[in-house]
Structure formats: C-alpha cells, structure tokens
Structure 1
Amino acid sequence: MSPVFSHGDLRLYLLHLLAEEPRHGYDIMQALSDRTGGTYTPSAGTIYPRLAKLEEEGLVSKSVDGRKTVYAITDAGRDELARRADDLVGIEAGLTDSIRLIAEEVRGSVAEAMRSLRADLAAAGTTRTAPTSAEPPPDDEKARSREQLRRADVVINDFRGRVRADLRTYVARGGSLTADVVADLERQLEDATRTLSLSLRG
C-alpha cells in the first residue's frame, strides 16, 4: 500500500529531509523511496517544482557543487519545521505503517507458499499410499517414484524462487527484513520438513 502525502505533507517532509543534511535532487528522491520501502518513488517533475517553491518562500537555499545543485534548509525552514512538529510526527507514523504492511505482505506470501508446498506434499503422499487393484511391476513403481521426485524438485525450486524474489524485492525497495520474519520462515520450513519425513515413513 503506497503512502499518500496529503496536501502540504510532501512539502513538510522535504524540509525534514533537508534538516537532516543538505541534499541534491536525486538524493532527495532516493531518500523518499527508501523511507517508504519503495512504495513511493517521486519523479523529478514532482520534486523540483516543490523545491523551487520552498526556495521562493525562503525556506530552502541552493548552491552548486560541481555539476550538482545542492539544497539546504534555512533558519526560516527550521522554524516552519518546528511549528509543524506534530504534523511531522503523523507523517512519520504513516510511513511506519506502510513499511509494516509491506512486511506483513511478505510474511503472507511466505505462508501462502508454505501452504502450497504442504498441499503438494500431502497430495504426493496420498498418491503414494493409495490402494491399487493390482501391485504394479517393480520397474513401473521405480519409474513413478522418479517422476514424483522430478515433480517435487520443480515444486521446491518454484517455492524457493518465489520466496527469494519476494524477499529480495522487499529489501531492494528499502524495507527492513526483521528477525521475526526470517524466524517464522525457518519454523515453517522445519514444519514442512517434518511433514515430509512423516509422509515418507508412513
């Protein structure tokens, strides 16, 4: 879920970023993307006009550093930031909620992948133990086992690829991968391993 900067919120958050340190335009855009877990990546057409407006109001100054234009907050900008400190707290809380929602989506994706894997393992176990009217020749049984082994490889590789892609995308977008999410993944994988072991012994 993308965080929404309501009217005036983006302007205030730009002052907040510049109060941390002077930044050039790309750095500001990257900081906004990082702070929102990649859910909000503003364009230059969004950021530069707002910076120009802040400069016009005397809240921001700019200087040229080589080929880059660096923006810095002024004393008037700091006063504006101090006056709207409560608004800034609300904005930060909204961004934190957005990151939390992303983490929950990743956790849900992992849980869904595990449910799919368990279902496939259960189906494979049912197929293996289902009674048949006649015992198949030994060679046919080995061939079926090899086919099921290939199927299991596909299922496991698909699961691994999906989980890795979800986790890498989340981290690449600036999300914080918590120990709880990884521990939950580890527990579910251990459960799946136990389920498989019991199925094979049955």
Structure 2
Amino acid sequence: MTPVFSHGDLRLYLLNLLDEGPRHGYDVMQALADRTGGTYTPSAGTIYPRLAKLEEEGLVTKSVDGRKTVYEITEAGRAEVRARASDLEGIEAGLSDSVRLIAEGVRGNVREAMKSLRADLAAARVDERAGEQTRTASDDPRGRNREQLHRADAALTEFRARVRGDLRTHVARGGELPSSVVDQLTDDLDRISREIIRALRG
C-alpha cells in the first residue's frame, strides 16, 4: 500500500516535521521516506514549492546555513499543527498501516522462499530414493553423493541470493526491517536444518 498524500495532508505533515525541529530540504525528503517505510520518496520538485508556499503563508521561515537552506516553523505554523492534531493522527495511522503491510510483505516473501527450499529438498530426496532403486553394482556412491551435494548447494545459494536481494532492496528504498522478520527467518532456518538432519539420519 503506497500512501498518497493529498495536498492538504502533505502540507500538514511538512509542518509536523518542522515542528519537531528545523530541517533543510533534503532532510525533509529523507524524513518523509523514512516515516513511510520507503513507500513515498518525494522529489525536490514536490517538496521545495510546498515549503516556499508555507513560507509565503507565514508558517515557515528559512535561513541559509553554509550551502544549505534551513526551514523552521513559526508560531503560526505551530498553532496550525496543534489545531489540526486530530487530522495529523489520521495521517500517522495511515503511514503506520503502510509500514506494517511492508513488513508483512517481507515476511510473506521469506515464507514463500522457505517453502520453495523445502520443496527442492523434498524433490532431491525423492530423486535420491529413485536413484537407489535403479542403482547397479558398478555405481559410484561417492559420485552420487557429490552430485546431490551440488544440487543442495545450488538450492541454498539460490535461496540466499533471492532473500538477500529482496531484503537489501527493501532497506535501500528506505524500508524498515523489523527484528521480528529477522527472528522468523532465523527460526525457520533452524527448523529446516533440524529437518534435514533428521532426514539424513533416516
């Protein structure tokens, strides 16, 4: 779910960010990306005109700090934030829902990857049993073991690359990676490891 700010909502949320403290333009854009779990990454062409409009309305002032322009909320701006506190709560609730749905999506991807890995391992066991039924006296057990080990390595490598790529992309886009997702991944890997050991021991 991608949060879509209406003109008024974005205006109010910008005031809310500045109510927390002075910020320069890039910091405002980064804060919006962080608060939305990376689902909303505004451009300079979106943010700076709105900051300029807030300045025209007397709700924000700007000053130059080195090569950065710093925006700071005025008392009139603070008064509007206080007056629209209930509207702001609704916006925050919507953003929280967005971040929650992102986390659920990551967990879903992990679960699907684990299912795929379990299916690959189950198929490998079936193939191994089928190979045992047609095995002749001249078969090389070590060769067969090396072949199955190669298949297992390939499955594990593919799984690691897929999940690692999904997680890195999610974080790179500013998304939040809750510890619960990592805990679930660790637990699932531990459980599969135990299942593999039991299967190897017969």
Give the deviation of 1:134 after TM superposition.
5.0
Identity within the alignment, %: 68
One-letter code aligned to 1:135:
T
Distance 1:61 1:137, change over 3 A: same
Task: Give the number of equivalent residue pairs.
Answer: 201
More off after superposition, 124-133 vs 33-42 = 124-133
- Map residues 98-109 of structure 1 onto 2, 5 A cutoff: 98-109=98-109
One-letter code aligned to 2:138:
P
Query: Is residue 39–residue 175 contact of structure 2 (8 Å, CA) maintained in 1?
Result: no
CA distance, structure 1, for counterparts of residue 63 and residue 134 of structure 2: 85
Query: Is residue 117–residue 156 contact of structure 1 (8 Å, CA) maintained in 2?
Result: yes
One-letter code aligned to 2:192:
A
Q: Secondary structure at the residue paired with 2:58? A: coil
- Map residues 117-156 of structure 1 onto 2, 5 A cutoff: 117-130=117-130, 132-135=133-136, 137-139=138-140, 141-156=141-156
Aligned to 1:44: 44
- Map residues 24-35 of structure 1 onto 2, 5 A cutoff: 24-35=24-35
CA distance, structure 2, for counterparts of residue 90 and residue 71 of structure 1: 25
CA distance, structure 2, for counterparts of residue 133 and residue 20 of structure 1: 72
Gapped regions of structure 1 (runs ≥ 5): none
One-letter code aligned to 1:113:
A
Deviations 1:68-97 (A, max 9, x none): 111110010011111110010011111111
Give the deviation of 1:6 after TM superposition.
2.0
One-letter code aligned to 2:51:
L
Distance 1:160 1:133, change over 3 A: closer
CA distance, structure 2, for counterparts of residue 5 and residue 30 of structure 1: 16
Query: Is residue 125–residue 200 contact of structure 1 (8 Å, CA) maintained in 2?
Result: no
One-letter code aligned to 2:22:
P
More off after superposition, 125-134 vs 98-107 = 125-134
Aligned alpha-carbon RMSD (Å): 1.6
Give the deviation of 1:166 after TM superposition.
2.3
Give the deviation of 1:9 after TM superposition.
0.3
Query: Is residue 62–residue 70 contact of structure 1 (8 Å, CA) maintained in 2?
Result: yes
Give the deviation of 1:122 after TM superposition.
0.4
Query: Is residue 55–residue 62 contact of structure 1 (8 Å, CA) maintained in 2?
Result: yes
- Map residues 1-202 of structure 1 onto 2, 5 A cutoff: 1-130=1-130, 132-135=133-136, 137-139=138-140, 141-202=141-202
CA distance, structure 1, for counterparts of residue 198 and residue 101 of structure 2: 35
Give the deviation of 1:185 after TM superposition.
1.2
One-letter code aligned to 1:190:
D
Gapped regions of structure 2 (runs ≥ 5): none
One-letter code aligned to 2:114:
M
CA distance, structure 1, for counterparts of residue 122 and residue 136 of structure 2: 22
Q: Secondary structure at the residue paired with 1:151? A: helix
Give the deviation of 1:186 after TM superposition.
1.6
